[in-house]
Amino acid sequence: MNMTSGTAVPSFRRVEAGPPFTVQVRGRAFLAGSAHDSFPDRIPDAGDMIPVLAVEGSGCQAAALMGAVRHVIDESLPEYGGLLLRGLPAPDKAGFERLIAGLGYDPVGYRGGIAVRKNDSGLALNASDEDRRITLSPHNEMAYLPRYPRKIFFYCDRAAADGGEVPVSDIRDTARILPENLKDEYRARGVRYHRNLPRQSARGEMGWPATFGTDDKGMVERHLRAAGYECEWGADDRLRYHYARDAFTTHPETREELWFNQVTELHCSYWRSHPDFPPDLPDGDYPATTTYGDGSLIDEDEISFLRGLLWRNARAVRMRHGDVLVLDNQVLQHGRFAYEGARRHFVSLTN
């Protein structure tokens, strides 16, 4: 895919991602709901779903390179929903941050996010500090918040010794296989998100100062109430808050109805399947849970069924050192398979 002519500018060539493979899903340890009949046994690699583009002529001036990379993203992402860029001059986190800065997209902060990750001041965050034994199901980043990123950039600094693939799933396909009765139910009732945050971050959960970037309780409370959330402070400075959101959204360009929420990933059953949490706590005592928008409980079998639907259309991406995976967060979900070894991925969120 030649973007421009001449020798001083880079071009992109479509290449094969690598040998085909499949990854086990059903019955996987520490994957909530994976014993449910709705889960597929295995999922295949992404194949042609996500083009792999190798850059050629990356030794040109930085401005020309950034312009070419942005052009190929803007041109191809609306069609495919995802791109895997290979061979960019980004040998480490600093190089990845320079790339993101040079592309010129508006960054999106992670204030109020729930992922277990260290939030430093750079453009690149740790993709996840969650226990490596955990498989994270496909989800749309920050779909539980009013402001979420439109684009997500994943950078592979170190590939896992085994596992660690990125599952991706197109929610346009998910909406097509959702039973009509469930669509009607969630259209009418929406989703309520319940959060329960300690003051100090601990294994498997982020504290509220790390989540909101301040230890000023008044500032946190004003932020939550301004957003229309109900909140309260409990013993040991725990923060509890909840709010309702629609389960569907409308794609801003195509006007398609999209299943866009985290009713499954933030349900308490996730933590009941987690190796660091007891399985018998009340629903509201886990870091998060979800209910219908009116506060009514959702049957756990229904949650497991929905999780399985998200996995049915999923495909797996296996990244190499230096790879940059770009996803349209509006349509493509992402996750992470459990892994062995010292995997290290960084993520940048933008509009």
Residue 158 shares a structural domain with residue 191: no
Q: 164-181: per-residue pLDDT in tens?
A: 999 999 999 988 899 999
**122 and 21 within one domain:** yes
Rounded to two decimals, the pTM is: 0.93
Q: Report the pLDDT value the prediction gives residue 284, as an integer from 0 to 100.
A: 95
Q: In terms of domains, do 196 and 273 share one?
A: yes
Domain for residue 2, yes or no? no
Q: What is the count of structural domains for the chain?
A: 2
Residue 3 lies in a domain: no
pLDDT tens-digit readout, 51-65: 999 998 666 777 888
Q: Is residue 164 part of a domain?
A: yes
Residue at 283 is within a domain: yes
The domain that holds 202 is classified in CATH as 3.60.130.10
Domain co-membership, 219 together with 289: yes
pLDDT above 70 (res 342): yes
Same domain, 294 and 241: yes
Residue 5 lies in a domain: no
pLDDT at residue 121, rounded to an integer: 55
First to last CA, the chain: 25
What are the contacts of 103-108 at 24+ separation with CB within 8 A? Answer: 103/66, 103/69, 103/70, 103/73, 103/350, 104/66, 104/70, 105/70, 105/151, 105/350, 105/351, 106/350, 106/351, 107/348, 107/349, 107/350, 108/142, 108/147, 108/148, 108/149, 108/349, 108/350, 108/351
The tens digit of pLDDT for each residue in 289-320 reads 999 999 999 999 999 999 999 999 999 999 99
- Rg of the chain over all Cα atoms, to the nearest angstrom: 20
The verdict on 215 and 281 lying in the same domain is: yes
Q: Looking at the domain assignment, is residue 269 inside a domain?
A: yes
Examine residue 6 and state whether it is found in any structural domain, yes or no. no
Report the pLDDT value the prediction gives residue 244, as an integer from 0 to 100: 97
Residues 20, 151 within the same domain:
yes
Q: Which domain holds residue 337?
A: 11-168+314-350
Mean predicted lDDT score pLDDT of the chain: 92
34 contacts 25 by C-beta, under 8 angstroms:
yes
